[in-house]
Structure 1
Amino acid sequence: MITMGTEGKTTYERISDIINPVPGSVFYMACECQMNGEFDNALRLYQKIVEKEPNNTKALQGIADVFSCMGNHEEALLWYGKALDYDPYNAEIWYNKGLTLCKTGYNDEGYSCIRKGISLAMSTSLSRRRI
């Protein structure tokens, strides 16, 4: 459980301020919050990364994933779009966007995104084997 400090900040926020947030460690904390269902804290930490690195696709995807888990699919789709603007060949983002579209009833578009994600993952996998 995350506790509030004397300055009104959570433990995770104080830690990230102290270490002059190294995006990797803040990302780890955000993922941990997300897995524990602490979605507000996860969003805050992912957004902290995006403030420092606006093109950090892992953090952008993290924000989208959290919104999707919270049932805020419209907001999730906006963030998946932002992530894909920076990394249009990211298979996982395409796949997750597709799942979210299916949750909102846009099955054709969702399946198209899922297929694109699988295709990208397979082409990356095949090209690695050829090396």
Structure 2
Amino acid sequence: MSESAAEIKSLKMAELNKLNLPKFWREILQIAGPDMFIKIWRVASCPENQWKQDKIYVPSIKKYQEFQCVQIIKCFIESNMSCTEITKELEKHGMSRSPDTIRRIAKKYELGEVPLR
């Protein structure tokens, strides 16, 4: 980034920080940068995106984490791993699923029977 681009970004950040936005929005600003932040803010503030009375619905990150876990389990099942092996592998990454859960996922996605061991 050129010096002038860095200066412009710094000025935009300072301007947005003067708005005394809630902590949640300041964190998004820091992560996304000023230009992307403004785009996000515009989308979030459109009446058609409002849930009710100037509020937007923010789904829990757990929904995404669960989706990712299911995708990982599906890959392990397709690699012919047993429930025990899958459970151990998931635990290495801070995820905990029972053999019954693994079998339900296999059944739901028609991946066949998964051996316990």
Q: Common fold, TM-score beyond 0.5? A: no
Task: Give the number of the structure whose alpha-carbon radius of gyration is greater.
Answer: 2
TM-score range, shorter chain: under 0.3
TM-score normalised per structure 2? 0.25
- Structure with more relative contact order (C-alpha pairs < 8 Å, separation 6 or more): 2
TM-score normalised per structure 1? 0.23
